[in-house]
Amino acid sequence: MKNEKVILIGAGLCGLYTAFLLQKKGIEVLLLEANTRIGGRIKTITGTTGVTMEMGATWFGNQHSHILEVLRALEIPYFKQHTQGISLFETMSFVPPQKFEISDSEEPSFRIVGGTATLIKKLISEIGIKNIKTNTKITLIKEENHHLIVTDSVGNSYSADKVISTIPPNLLVNSVIFEPNLPENFTQLAKKTHTWMGESIKFAVEYKTPFWKEKKYSGTLFSQASIIQEMYDHSTADNFGFALKGFLNGGTSVLSLEQRKEKVIAQLTALFGLEAKDYIAYVENVWREEPLTFQPYEQLVLAHQNNGHSLYKRPFQNGKLYISGAETATQNPGYMDGAIAAAKTIALEF
C-alpha cells in the first residue's frame, strides 16, 4: 500500500475511473471538478416519461474492450441500439429521402441500460461522494518542494504528492497556469489536440409513443440536406420511454434554441408525419458553448488530431504531474473506451 495523496482534476469518466483504480491500490484520492455536475462529457437527461436522453456519450461496440470489461465488472447491463425497420438518407432537400435497411449482421452498437450516467453514478458510489469536490475550477498548478499545490479560481489551495489532470489537453493549456511552465513543445501539441465531439450539437425529442416504429421506420436518419445530420431511435431498453436523438448541423449554433427546435420538428414532421409535432420535450446541448469542455483552436485541428500522442505518456513537474483524459489514450482515444484505457495506463504508474 502506498502512502500517497493524489489529486485528480476533472470528474468525467477518466477522472472517476482513475480514482476508482487508485483507491483499490490504497491510495488516497481527491477529485476536483469545476462543474456543479459530475460526469463531464457524459450527460444524461431524464424526461418526464422516464426516458433517458444522452446529450453526450452514448454508444460503444465490441471493439471497445476496456469499457465492456468495466461494465461487466461493475455489473452494469447494456443493450443493442435499435436499428430495425426503414432507415432514411436525405441527400438533397428537394428530393425524397432514400430508404434502406440495416442488416442484422452489421456490427452492433450498445447503450447502457438506464443511460450512460448509470456508469457515472456507480463510480461515484464506489469512490465515495466525500472524495469529490465540485464547483472547484483549477487555475494554477505549482511545484513546491516535494509537492504540487493546486489552486482554484477563488484562491483555495490543495496539496498533493501527485496530480493527474483529465481536462481535455487544448482546454488545459489554455485555462491552467503551470509553475514552472510546461515545456513549449507540449503546450503546442496540446493546443493542436482535438477534443472529441467538442464542436457538436446533440438534441433529443421525447414522445408519448414510438410513432415512427409503428410506421415501420427504425428512427435512423442520415441527412446532408437539413438541420438533423444523424439520428437514431432513443427508446429505453424495456421500451417504456420513447425519444429520437442525434446530432444537428454544427453551423446552427448561431441560431437560438427555439429556431433549432422549430427546424428539427419541421424535419421530423416531413419525414414521419404530423405525430412528430406532438412531442413532450425538446432538449439539446451545444457543446462548443461548454467552457469546461471546448476551447476554440488557434488553427484548424482535424478530428482526433494528436490524440494518443507519445508526449502524453511522460509526467511533468519532476514526475509529479500526469496529463490524462480520453484524448491521451493510445487505444480508441476520444471515446469512453479511451477514457478507461487512459485511466488504466496512469494507474499502472502508481
> Which residues are near ligand FAD by CB under 6 A?
9-15, 32-35, 40-42, 56-60, 137-138, 166-168, 171, 175-176, 196-197, 200, 202, 287, 292-293, 325-326, 334-339
Shortest distance in whole angstroms from residue 327 CB to ligand FAD:
7
Residue 110 vs 272, nearer CB to ligand FAD: 110
Q: How many helices (H) and strands (E) does the chain have?
A: 8, 21
CA angle 104, 107, 111 (to 5 degrees): 95
Report residue 329 as a C-alpha cell. Answer: 489514450
Residues 62, 104: Cα–Cα separation, whole Å: 15
Shortest distance in whole angstroms from residue 260 CB to ligand FAD:
15
Residue 276 vs 336, nearer CB to ligand FAD: 336
Residues 150, 317: Cα–Cα separation, whole Å: 13
Shortest distance in whole angstroms from residue 37 CB to ligand FAD:
8
Residues 99, 105: Cα–Cα separation, whole Å: 18
Residue 178 vs 287, nearer CB to ligand FAD: 287
Residue 97 vs 252, nearer CB to ligand FAD: 252
Shortest distance in whole angstroms from residue 33 CB to ligand FAD:
5
- Residues 288, 253: contact at Cβ < 8 Å? yes
Shortest distance in whole angstroms from residue 5 CB to ligand FAD:
17
Shortest distance in whole angstroms from residue 256 CB to ligand FAD:
20
Q: What share of the chain is helix, strand, coil (3-state, %, to 5)?
A: 30, 30, 45
Shortest distance in whole angstroms from residue 172 CB to ligand FAD:
7
| Edge-to-edge strands, sheet with 132-133 | 132-133, 28-32, 5-9, 162-165, 321-323
Residue 86 vs 140, nearer CB to ligand FAD: 140
Residue 97 vs 285, nearer CB to ligand FAD: 285
Residue 11 vs 227, nearer CB to ligand FAD: 11
Shortest distance in whole angstroms from residue 196 CB to ligand FAD:
5
Residue 6 vs 336, nearer CB to ligand FAD: 336
Concatenated DSSP letters of 75-126: T--EEEPP--SEEEEE--TTSPPEEEE--TTSPPEEEETT-THHHHHHHHHH
- Considering only CA atoms, which of 91, 86, 115 is closest in space to residue 102? 86
> Residues 131-140, buried b or exposed e (16+ Cβ, 10 A)?
ebbeebbbee
Residues 312, 320: Cα–Cα separation, whole Å: 14
